[in-house]
Amino acid sequence: MDNDVPFSSFCNALLEIRHTVNNKMKTEALNKFINNHGIEREKATNVREFLRSAENEELNEFRSGVLRLRQKIARVLDLKVIDIIISDSGNNYKSLRELIIPISERFSPQSSFKLGEVNQKLKQLMGSKDAEESKLLRELFENCIAGELLWIFAVMTKSIVTSLNWDIGCLRDALNPRGNEEFKRNRDMKRNKEEHSDTYPLMCNFEPMLLSRLDIDDWYKKIAAHSGINFFMELKFDGEHVVIHKKGDCWRVVTRNGKDFTKYYDGTIGKKNLLESIKPFLRSTVDEVVVDCELMLYDEVAKKLVRHHQECADGKTYNYQHIEPNDPVHLVVVVLDLMYLNGHNFMGTPFDKRLQAMDSLLLKKQDPTVIYIPERKIGNSKEDVKAYFKEAMMNCDEGIVIKRRETLYEPGHRLLRNGWFKVKANLTEGAHLDVAVVGVKYEGTSREQQLVIAVKRLRFDKEELEEDTSFDLKVIGAVGAGLTQNERRWIIDEATRMGNLLKSPPAGVFGSDIADGGYFRDWDDFQVVEVRCAGKQGGALQHAGMIRLRDDKDVKTIDSYLDFKRLEDKIKSGHLPELDAEAEMARTNRKRKVQVALSKTKIASEGATVAKVVKHSNSLDGVVVSVIPGKNDKRYKTLIEILKSFGAQVQLIPDEGTNFLVAEAKAVPQTTKRVKEAKWTVIDGVWVERCQQKKEIVEWEPSDVIYGKADGFNLNLRV
């Protein structure tokens, strides 16, 4: 059994597999690890258990991506999320290494866990929440060194396959000689059992089909390319997206996130039984049905539908799952699509045919205050879309939806080729403001960062700012979406160079005190950004996001409070922008710059990668070396390959048998931590590169020694 295998040894094997060049050699490396520890292949259950998310992702119940994992780490370390810096490179492995940095600075653990113990901890983590989860994570932080946490995080973020650089099919076969074949057979059997059964998708939990987004620069381009002719246009409803199942007298309501909310709508918890209220409207022939719906709130005083989180006529907002009998609101079911009816699966039927079946077979009567099928219009051009969108905006709707007629129902997909798009208010010409960032605040238990924004408030309500007119700044809210992490960090760093944040707003800025976070001290520190939104709700911007930094503007030229108040009117105009020649040229140039930058990056990365390292003399035969990672992942890999070319055995985690360490970078927390441990000589990676150039091991110079004896060449373990 492999239960008592040291977890550090397993992590060393995983690192070796990651840096092995092809799938065959990766399999050999895994088999070598299993054989070296005297494990019978069929009894390597803990190895397979740890790699379970690679073998079959359905077995891995973790739902953490890198960003969510960062929130959890921040909670355990009592840090602000923004203080844990990860790059925007899209490299998951690199991001996981960056997440380990603040943990390494806080804890100095000794590797002690066995592989079986780690698997047990991961099982407990899968089913844990909040306080229990934080307790388990802290235990791992206190007992696992950086190289071990790296692979634990890879499991938690379902990125084992990409972290190992291993083809998923070859990995399955490495764990089980017929693993890939069995996986495909089991997957196909399950799919056949569900999708080709007489009752699929009845009472099954699946995500509804989703809508794709449009580009702000050229919103009609994707519609023209993918939605076909005579496409359908519908209103977009801002409510609760659910799938409703009915099987005889048994009902099920599932949200788009896969949560079963039946108890809130069948009278079990909710005081009003929504499902009972729609029964009289169904045809008597409807025994089994699955429909894609939007639940909307109906204001009984104003006699109209209200959007999610929108105030009703009584000045209150209501929770869909907790409506009391005396509340002047109730839920309405808006039926959008039909997936199943009385034994017939409509998912493989084109959308226009599904609509025909829904119109003729589902409801015997409709009531816009209970349940109904919304009207649809036919569109063929940009002008048709603009006219219908303008009408929707005038009626304060969220937007419109474009749907291709021939599209089949694909659960959980948001694909361009489906030709289903949402046209929302944030696409209108007036849906943006230039604002000043005047502070930062942190909200929630994970302390999500939001930048506090303000507009100028002119004295005497003048329309335009004259040269001699003074003005104040009025805070209009905080925005948490948009901009890259580096851009946000730069804004805050620049603004706090001259002093700490202020809890109360500085002179000339009007807003509330900030409990967690603060205001910037000086007006010169206020950065102008462009914010785009879908309107206002309760006096605040709705679905706001920061689009870009406006370095071409100063605070004097930002939008005014009058512009903020008129924002809703601009959006109601429903004017979708035309892409003129100048804008098209700017868009083309921007895309060209991105392509050039990507090409340069690709060339640089190809040049920096050691694809083939020539085998040199075995000058380091029998020498065990550990390379300390820095911020340059490619250089880190290169140093490992060079050391191996000289016959060295490279370890991920240094132990009693390690002779010396090589640092990829001097000034990083990982190197500092190893120096503080004072166990090994630490050598700068430039020495390894110099050996590569000379094609032989040369003595290191005093300047190469980061820590240890600088007065001589020494390959021994201890300082």
Per-residue pLDDT reduced to its tens digit, 66-120: 888 888 999 999 888 878 888 655 567 888 888 999 998 888 887 788 898 998 8
pLDDT given at position 230: 95
Domain contains 207: no
Q: Mean pLDDT across the stretch 189-215?
A: 76
What is the DSSP-derived secondary structure letter of residue 668? S
**CATH number of the domain encompassing residue 409:** 3.30.470.30
Task: Tell me, yes or no, whether 255 and 359 share the same domain.
Answer: yes
Out of 537, 572, 607, a domain closes at: 572
Per-residue pLDDT reduced to its tens digit, 701-712: 888 888 875 444
Task: Tell me, yes or no, whether 230 and 372 share the same domain.
Answer: yes
Handedness of CA 368, 371, 373, 374 (dihedral sign): positive
Domain contains 215: no
- For residues 286 and 237, is the Cβ–Cβ distance under 8 A? no
Is the confidence at residue 356, as pLDDT, over 60? yes
Tokens 């785009």 appear where?
532
- For residues 181 and 169, is the Cβ–Cβ distance under 8 A? no
Structure tokens at 645: 């070319």
Task: Tell me, yes or no, whether 128 and 226 share the same domain.
Answer: no
Task: Tell me, yes or no, whether 157 and 267 share the same domain.
Answer: no
Task: Tell me, yes or no, whether 238 and 339 share the same domain.
Answer: yes
What is the DSSP-derived secondary structure letter of residue 197? S
Task: Tell me, yes or no, whether 366 and 461 share the same domain.
Answer: no
Of the candidates 535, 532, 522, which has an alpha carbon nearest to the alpha carbon of residue 483? 532
Residues with Cβ within 8 Å of 433's Cβ and at least 6 positions away in sequence, in order, are 455, 530, 531, 533, 558, 559, 563, 564, 567
Domain contains 171: yes
Of the candidates 305, 133, 144, which has an alpha carbon nearest to the alpha carbon of residue 236? 305
Distance between CA atoms of residues 360 and 353, nearest Å: 11
Distance between CA atoms of residues 197 and 202, nearest Å: 10
- In one-letter notation, the amino acid at residue 626 is S
Average pLDDT for the chain: 82
Structure tokens at 184: 């495909």
Domain contains 355: yes
Of the candidates 575, 562, 568, 569, which has an alpha carbon nearest to the alpha carbon of residue 541? 568
Is the confidence at residue 480, as pLDDT, over 70? yes
Is the confidence at residue 1, as pLDDT, over 80? no
Task: Tell me, yes or no, whether 473 and 497 share the same domain.
Answer: yes
Q: Which residue has the higher pLDDT, 495 or 299?
A: 299
**CATH number of the domain encompassing residue 516:** 2.40.50.140
- For residues 601 and 594, is the Cβ–Cβ distance under 8 A? no
Angle at 110 between CA 674 and CA 688, to 5 degrees: 30
Distance between CA atoms of residues 427 and 288, nearest Å: 40
Task: Tell me, yes or no, whether 529 and 543 share the same domain.
Answer: yes
Q: Which of 4-13, 50-59, 229-238, 425-434 has the lowest mean pLDDT?
A: 50-59
Domain contains 201: no
Is the confidence at residue 294, as pLDDT, over 90? yes
What is the DSSP-derived secondary structure letter of residue 665? -
Residues with Cβ within 8 Å of 88's Cβ and at least 6 positions away in sequence, in order, are 484, 485, 486
Is the confidence at residue 580, as pLDDT, over 60? no
Per-residue pLDDT reduced to its tens digit, 495-539: 887 678 888 998 888 988 888 889 998 887 789 999 988 888 767
pLDDT given at position 491: 85
Task: Tell me, yes or no, whether 267 and 357 share the same domain.
Answer: yes
pLDDT given at position 187: 56
Out of 427, 452, 483, a domain closes at: 427
CB atoms within 10 A of CB 567: 20
Q: List strands edge to edge, sheet with 624-628.
A: 649-651, 624-628, 660-663, 682-684, 705-707
Task: Tell me, yes or no, whether 501 and 530 share the same domain.
Answer: yes
Out of 557, 572, 587, a domain closes at: 572
Of the candidates 438, 439, 436, 441, which has an alpha carbon nearest to the alpha carbon of residue 82? 441
Q: How confident is the model at residue 586 (pLDDT cuts 50, 70, 90)?
A: low
Is the confidence at residue 602, as pLDDT, over 80? no
Q: Which of 245-259, 411-425, 570-584 has the lowest mean pLDDT?
A: 570-584
How crowded is the C-beta side of 302, counted as CA atoms within 13 Å?
16
What is the DSSP-derived secondary structure letter of residue 427? G
Q: pLDDT above 70 covers what percent of the chain?
A: 84
pLDDT given at position 713: 53
| Residue 390 domain boundaries | 221-427
Is the confidence at residue 489, as pLDDT, over 50? yes
Q: Mean pLDDT across the stretch 538-556?
A: 83
Tokens 């849906």 appear where?
431
Task: Tell me, yes or no, whether 622 and 656 share the same domain.
Answer: yes
Distance between CA atoms of residues 270 and 331, nearest Å: 11
For residue 541, give the H/E element and its range: strand 540-541
CA dist list (Å): 343 to 199, 279, 292, 407: 6, 19, 17, 21
Q: Mean pLDDT across the stretch 42-66?
A: 69
Domain contains 714: yes
Q: Which residue has the higher pLDDT, 515 or 289?
A: 289
Q: Mean pLDDT across the stretch 315-337?
A: 89
pLDDT given at position 383: 94
Per-residue pLDDT reduced to its tens digit, 131-178: 888 899 999 999 899 889 999 998 888 888 888 888 877 887 887 776
CB atoms within 10 A of CB 685: 24
- For residues 45 and 1, is the Cβ–Cβ distance under 8 A? yes
Residues with Cβ within 8 Å of 238's Cβ and at least 6 positions away in sequence, in order, are 307, 308, 310, 397, 398
pTM of the complete model: 0.56
Distance between CA atoms of residues 189 and 177, nearest Å: 20
Domain contains 688: yes
Burial profile 194-229: b = 16 or more Cβ within 10 angstroms, e = fewer: eeeeeebbbbbebbbbbbbbbeeeebbebbeebbee
* Structural domains in the chain (count): 4
Task: Tell me, yes or no, whether 248 and 261 share the same domain.
Answer: yes
pLDDT given at position 563: 87
Domain contains 161: yes
Of the candidates 223, 209, 578, 218, which has an alpha carbon nearest to the alpha carbon of residue 400? 223
Q: pLDDT above 90 covers what percent of the chain?
A: 29
Helix, strand or coil, per DSSP, at residue 277: helix
